[in-house]
């Protein structure tokens, strides 16, 4: 009899969501208004920049951080987006991804640091991160709509949950992989635990953290089309309309714009990671050189 009886997981989950919606509606309204303000502010900032100036700035940034090839790709890709009439939709998508990434960093970095400092916290958070990353993204849309209504905000919340695990995991990994002799040298110079964390471990872990940021951005972009199903605007809406209307051309144009945006962000963040890696190695070399010098004296 016990084996044949169903555990009411779904009913408990639904009742819990209803209880939260009824008792904490003002709390969720405050979160919705805050996230909406961030998204609207980013969109206003991006759309207020004249298109030629925006393209020129991105080309220069890509040239400086990456290569001439990436700069050429940025110029051609952004010109193509503008030519297809998808500039405003692209800025809406960039604002949504930017807001979700910013909030993910604010929450994810402290969690990653906590995991690196506490084995107990790591054991507790690891299965939670596994759950967040492996649960189908569509499932997050249901409670997001319950709590935050339709629009860009529930899409951003679902994106934050889905895209957070990489930045948490890689922050934890980066700090744990800081060489022991560097930590020993810092302690021998009288560094406190906070100084050791923020002046040694976190700076040296930045390349790994940047790799996590790269993955977070890519996962955020992968949620663009899914978020359009609950009212989020941008390129996802273009692709979604192309699917529902069986309009191959419209869907392909929206998808191509997403690909261009994703490749551009990927190349720039990878270049930042490589640059920070070089700086970190130079820092380690100088720190160890100082330690050897002091011992010889």
Q: Confirm whether 54 is domain-assigned.
A: no
Tell me how many helices (H) and strands (E) the chain has: 14, 0
Asked whether residue 135 is domain-assigned, the answer is: yes
Asked if residue 276 belongs to a domain, the reply is: yes
Residue 297 lies in a domain: no
Q: Report the alpha-carbon distance of residue 185 to residue 163 in Å, rounded.
A: 36
DSSP 3-state of 246: coil
Q: Angle between the 137-148 and 152-176 helix axes, to the nearest 10 degrees?
A: 120
Q: Is the pLDDT of residue 27 over 80?
A: yes
- Which residue from 257, 252, 234 is spatially nearest to 242, judged by alpha carbons? 252
Provide the residue range defining the domain that includes 220: 9-48+84-291
Q: Is the pLDDT of residue 2 over 60?
A: no
R_g of the chain, CA atoms, integer Å: 23
Q: Which tens digits make up the pLDDT trace of 97-156?
A: 999 999 999 999 999 999 988 889 899 999 999 888 888 877 878 888 888 888 888 888
Residue 267 has what pLDDT? Answer: 85
**Is residue 69 a part of any domain in this protein?**
no
Tell me, what CATH number does 38's domain have? 1.10.3720.10
What is the rounded average pLDDT of the residues 238-266?
A: 88
Q: Say how far apart CA 212 and CA 59 lie, in whole Å.
A: 24
Both tokens of 292, joined, read: 């050897």
Token pair in block for residue 76: 């051609």
Tokens of 26: 């003002």
Per-residue b/e over 108-138, b at no fewer than 16 CB within 10 Å? Answer: bbebbbbbbeeeeebeebeeebeebbeeebe
Q: pTM of the predicted model, to two decimals? A: 0.83
Q: Tell whether 59 is covered by a domain.
A: no
What tokens were used for 264? 């551009």
In a domain? residue 64:
no
Inside any domain, residue 72 = no
How sure is the predictor about 286, in pLDDT bands with cuts at 50, 70 and 90?
Answer: low
DSSP string, 102-116: HHHHHHHHHHHHHHH
Quick one: pLDDT band at residue 241, thresholds 50, 70, 90?
confident
Highest mean pLDDT among 24-38, 49-63, 174-188: 49-63
Q: What is the mean pLDDT of residues 68-85?
A: 91
Q: Domain tally for the chain?
A: 1
In 3D, which of 185, 146, 155, 208 has the Cα closest to residue 20? 146
Q: What is the pLDDT of residue 251?
A: 87
Distance, CA of 278 to CA of 280 (rounded, Å): 5
The upper half-sphere exposure of residue 118, i.e. CA atoms within 13 Å in the direction of its Cβ, equals 12
Q: Both tokens of residue 267?
A: 């190349």
């Amino acid at each position: 009899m016990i084996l044949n009886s169903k555990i009411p997981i779904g009913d408990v989950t639904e009742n819990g969501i209803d209880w939260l919606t009824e008792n904490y509606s003002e709390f969720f309204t405050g979160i919705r208004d805050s996230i909406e303000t961030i998204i609207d502010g980013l969109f206003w900032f991006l759309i207020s920049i004249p298109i030629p100036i925006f393209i020129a700035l991105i080309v220069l940034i890509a040239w400086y951080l990456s290569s001439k090839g990436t700069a050429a790709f940025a110029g051609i890709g952004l010109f193509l987006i503008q030519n297809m009439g998808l500039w405003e939709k692209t800025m809406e998508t960039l604002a949504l991804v930017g807001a979700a990434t910013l909030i993910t960093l604010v929450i994810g970095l402290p969690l990653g640091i906590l995991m690196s400092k506490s084995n107990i916290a790591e054991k507790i958070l690891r299965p939670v991160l596994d759950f967040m990353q492996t649960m189908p993204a569509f499932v997050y849309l249901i409670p997001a709509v319950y709590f935050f209504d339709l629009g860009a905000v529930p899409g951003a919340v679902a994106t934050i949950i889905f895209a957070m695990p990489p930045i948490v995991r890689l922050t934890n990994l980066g700090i744990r992989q800081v060489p022991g002799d560097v930590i020993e040298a810092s302690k021998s110079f009288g560094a406190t635990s906070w100084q050791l964390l923020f002046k040694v471990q976190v700076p040296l872990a930045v390349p790994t953290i940047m790799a996590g940021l790269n993955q977070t951005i890519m996962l955020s972009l992968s949620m663009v089309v899914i978020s359009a199903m609950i009212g989020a605007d941008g390129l996802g809406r273009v692709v979604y309309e192309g699917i529902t209307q069986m309009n191959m051309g419209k869907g392909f144009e929206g998808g191509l714009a997403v690909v261009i945006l994703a490749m551009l962000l990927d190349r720039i963040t990878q270049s930042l990671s490589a640059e920070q890696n070089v700086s970190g190695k130079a820092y380690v070399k100088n720190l160890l050189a100082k330690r050897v010098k002091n011992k010889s004296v």
